[in-house]
Structure 1
Amino acid sequence: MTTANTTGTAVLAQGARAEATIDLAALRANLAALRARTDGPALMAVVKADAYGHGAVRCAQEAVAAGIGWLGAAMPEEALALRAAGIGPEQARILCWLWTPGGPWQQALCAAVDVSVSARWALDELVAAVRETGVPGRVHLKADTGLGRNGCQPHDWPDLVAAALRAQAEGLIEVVGLWSHFAAADEPGHPSIQAQLDSFETALAYAERAGVRPEVRHLANSPATLLLPASHYDLVRTGLAMYGLSPVPEVGTPADFGLRPVMSLTARLALVKTVPGGHGVSYGHHYTTSGPTTLGLVPVGYADGIPRHASGTGPVLIGGKWRTVAGRVAMDQFVVDLGGDTPVVGEEVLLFGTGEHGEPTAEDWGRACGTISYEIITRIGARVPRRYVGSTSS
């Protein structure tokens, strides 16, 4: 059973070196808040990258229980794992969009996974798999409207649409979706936003004139879901926002959007010791104590997903006080200068949480490391156990 410490945050399980606490009640509340903002379009819960580090199966199950009918996965293996966990097509459609030649097309078809197609090679491999399995494919054609990443370029779009319609006429596939992805929806006013909206409209109009009748048209990611109603169409794809972090921190905090961070990361002090002034700390002695002080050893490092770029900058909360990583983050541990304080060995170190009790947030860590909150949460590794609280089934 979860308890709370003096900051009101989840207490580390007995004997645990470190753990990430995943608040499923916060996840459900975030999904409800996001649905309320869209007011009409369906919502896709994006659970790629192990649900941004939160645990794909548990988060997907919670989303489905909350009435979410679409799940998003990047890799086919991620989509297949959700089906293997018992999330059937009658509960949720699963879209998988990052394919490479020779991918598990047959398995995806048999598992009723929707597949994204951005080029003729992918359509050809999918059609071959359909012929082998006898299972028709559900296809989302992806247009490159300006991101320059995955997606079909405008000059190739007519050929891809025509080939997809020929396969559909043979009963091999059904084109159920048309979609694209923003490059800069997290930068309000960026000129690419309107350019991509216009390009998407052009791609939609061409496909629909050619005879495509999609179930869903979708373009909005988390920032567009929050800031660009014109991009919502039939379905919005929420990733970071679902996990309670702001994809547009310059515009608003999670609380400003009615969101609450889902993950808190906690460790225990493994050692507290007194050292003299001039004492070097960690590899390379990039930090040297300015005078007699106490040092605390935190037993997590870059093998656990703590960025090495947090060396000398990463914030933690110990005993109600913010501390900063002293010296380099090592593979399994880092040190903080406690300034003469002497907390007991085993005292909790809160690396990040909701911020409601004075602790750092994933956004604070992102700023400290010169990166984004997305990277902070997704890189927390498998050595850090996840503990789930607030589930409807618990």
Structure 2
Amino acid sequence: MSTRTPAPGAGTASGAHYHPAEVIVDLAAIRANVATLAEVAPTAEVMAVVKADAYGHGLLPVARTALQAGATWLGVAQFSEALAIREAGITAPMLVWLYTPGAPLEQAVRADIDLSVSAGWALDEVVRAARSSGRTARIHLKIDTGMGRGGVFAQAWPDLVAAAMRAQAEGAVQVVGVWSHLARADEIGHPSIAAQVQAFTDAVHLAEAAGARLLVRHLANSAGTLTAPQTHFDLVRPGIASYGLTPAPQYRSADGFGLVPAMRMESEVMLVKDAPADQGISYAHLYTTTEETRLAVIPLGYADGIPRHASNVGPVRVGGRTVPIAGRVCMDQFTIDLGPARPDHPEVVPGERAVLFGTGANGEPTAQDWADAAGTISYEIVARMGARIPRTYLNALGVDDE
């Protein structure tokens, strides 16, 4: 039986947390997805990537759920996320990878948070933090194997490794991991994947030859986890796939990968009214009615994460039909054209639920449908859902899941 748990402050018709829309997160779907990912990478541990408020799904509920499902690590981008997880009493191994000079590294070391080291200056700051805290910092050295983003390129790798091993010899750090990130794993069979695997393997061998005794070597993201077993090594880092969305939509759907979308976005209809033909809708009148019709206003906008690029195209399911947004998405609302009143069209009334996206069952749109319509990726659709929209959690296993 499904259990429904509102986030703190949500689920009431009055008060400061009222909102006419709701993000519904099915934690059972996340458990199933994490279990599926563990099955396709049986030789590796799973790091559930819960950055960006777990891609908009809720940091703490998802972190706990992923661990319940068999993930053994957590991965976050920002210190605030890592510290929130520790403050909630979650003690699982965790890696944080984005910080700049002056970051509160000592606080992270004291909280047993593993740190990514992508440059010489970062290693220097970690060493200072370790000395200040009187504790050994656990670090994962990052090699740039072709992404062209974080980490050091191959020519600088020997120097970073040598410096890290000197710091380890004095007890300031423990090099527990080497990692990198795939650039084109969603392009199945792309030659860059093999090139990155080779570059990563070479980097690992150099680190081990220098004396590193690695606990984990990790390269695979969601696409690598699902489609490229040669990238699995000791640990995989699925992000979007944990939330039931495909990392390679041009190759296979979420369902084709055995994934179930965990997020459902609903809103109550605010206003329904009849409009004449030739009526311009919303700013700049990018949409004009072609006949007498019925309009509905949905109280969500780009301040809530609805892409402005979804103007005139974002699909909404209401009254048993799916219709696109009519006109420009505004900051807090948008309009849909329901078409003329007809006996075979159920009447839509204020307060009725409209579904922006969900699992795709019963004809409702999916986050991937929104991504296709707006010319973006499903990651952006779910991750940008605004914090002011209440989250409700289905199928929590314990009282601490919210």
- Which sits farther off after the overlay, 268-277 or 13-22? 13-22
State the Cα distance separating 1:85 from its structure 2 match.
1.2
Does residue 352 in structure 1 map to residue 357 in structure 2?
A: yes
State the Cα distance separating 1:3 from its structure 2 match.
9.5
Task: Give the letter aligned to residue 321 of structure 1.
Answer: R
The structure showing larger relative contact order (alpha-carbon pairs under 8 Å, at least 6 residues apart) is 2
SS at match of 1:238: coil
Cα distance per residue 1:83-132 (max 9 Å; x no partner): 011102xxx10100112111110110010000000111000000001111
Cα distance per residue 1:155-208 (max 9 Å; x no partner): 110110000000101111100001100000001122211111111111111111
SS at match of 1:156: helix
Match in the other structure for 2:332: 332
CA distance, structure 1, for counterparts of residue 307 and residue 150 of structure 2: 28
Match in the other structure for 1:312: 312
Relative to structure 1, is the Cα distance of residues 299 and 212 closer, same or farther in structure 2, using a 3 angstrom cutoff? same
CA distance, structure 2, for counterparts of residue 227 and residue 170 of structure 1: 41
Does residue 155 in structure 1 map to residue 152 in structure 2?
A: no
Match in the other structure for 1:44: 47
CA distance, structure 1, for counterparts of residue 193 and residue 229 of structure 2: 12
CA distance, structure 2, for counterparts of residue 13 and residue 251 of structure 1: 39
Task: Give the letter aligned to residue 294 of structure 2.
Answer: T
Does residue 68 in structure 1 map to residue 71 in structure 2?
A: yes
Does residue 198 in structure 1 map to residue 201 in structure 2?
A: no
Match in the other structure for 1:7: none
Task: Give the letter aligned to residue 281 of structure 2.
Answer: V
Does residue 232 in structure 1 map to residue 232 in structure 2?
A: yes
CA distance, structure 2, for counterparts of residue 346 and residue 107 of structure 1: 47
- With the length of structure 2 as denominator, give the TM-score of the two structures: 0.93
CA distance, structure 1, for counterparts of residue 260 and residue 327 of structure 2: 32
State the Cα distance separating 1:2 from its structure 2 match.
7.2
Match in the other structure for 1:189: 189
The 5-angstrom pairing of residues 188-337 of structure 1 reads 188-337=188-337
- Selected match of 1:387 from 385, 389, 392: 392
CA distance, structure 1, for counterparts of residue 361 and residue 398 of structure 2: 26
- Selected match of 1:22 from 12, 19, 25: 25
CA distance, structure 1, for counterparts of residue 58 and residue 395 of structure 2: 14
**How many residue pairs end up in the alignment?**
384
CA distance, structure 2, for counterparts of residue 185 and residue 296 of structure 1: 41
State the Cα distance separating 1:13 from its structure 2 match.
5.8
CA distance, structure 2, for counterparts of residue 152 and residue 213 of structure 1: 20
SS at match of 2:154: coil
Does residue 83 in structure 1 map to residue 70 in structure 2?
A: no
CA distance, structure 1, for counterparts of residue 266 and residue 207 of structure 2: 50
Note if contact 2:220-2:232 (Cα within 8 Å) is conserved in structure 1: yes
Note if contact 2:11-2:390 (Cα within 8 Å) is conserved in structure 1: no
SS at match of 2:48: strand
State the Cα distance separating 1:62 from its structure 2 match.
1.3
Task: Give the letter aligned to residue 218 of structure 2.
Answer: H
Match in the other structure for 1:9: none
Match in the other structure for 2:105: 105
Match in the other structure for 1:57: 60
CA distance, structure 1, for counterparts of residue 267 and residue 244 of structure 2: 21
SS at match of 1:106: helix
Q: Quick one: percent identity of the two aligned structures?
A: 55
CA distance, structure 1, for counterparts of residue 283 and residue 63 of structure 2: 41
Task: Give the letter aligned to residue 131 of structure 1.
Answer: R
CA distance, structure 1, for counterparts of residue 290 and residue 75 of structure 2: 50
Task: Give the letter aligned to residue 285 of structure 1.
Answer: H
State the Cα distance separating 1:67 from its structure 2 match.
3.3
- Which sits farther off after the overlay, 334-343 or 222-231? 334-343
Match in the other structure for 2:7: none
CA distance, structure 2, for counterparts of residue 229 and residue 378 of structure 1: 27
CA distance, structure 2, for counterparts of residue 352 and residue 366 of structure 1: 11
Structure 2 alignment gaps of length 5 or more: 5-9, 14-18, 342-346
SS at match of 1:382: coil
State the Cα distance separating 1:66 from its structure 2 match.
2.6
- With the length of structure 1 as denominator, give the TM-score of the two structures: 0.95
State the Cα distance separating 1:295 from its structure 2 match.
0.2
State the Cα distance separating 1:238 from its structure 2 match.
0.7
Match in the other structure for 1:95: 95
SS at match of 1:338: strand
Note if contact 2:219-2:233 (Cα within 8 Å) is conserved in structure 1: yes
State the Cα distance separating 1:64 from its structure 2 match.
2.0
Task: Give the letter aligned to residue 392 of structure 1.
Answer: L
Cα distance per residue 1:265-294 (max 9 Å; x no partner): 000110000011111110111111101100
CA distance, structure 1, for counterparts of residue 33 and residue 229 of structure 2: 18
Task: Give the letter aligned to residue 370 of structure 1.
Answer: G
Note if contact 2:94-2:114 (Cα within 8 Å) is conserved in structure 1: yes
Cα distance per residue 1:9-39 (max 9 Å; x no partner): xxx9674500100000111011111111111
Which 4+ runs in 1 deviate beyond 4 A?
A: 1-4, 12-16
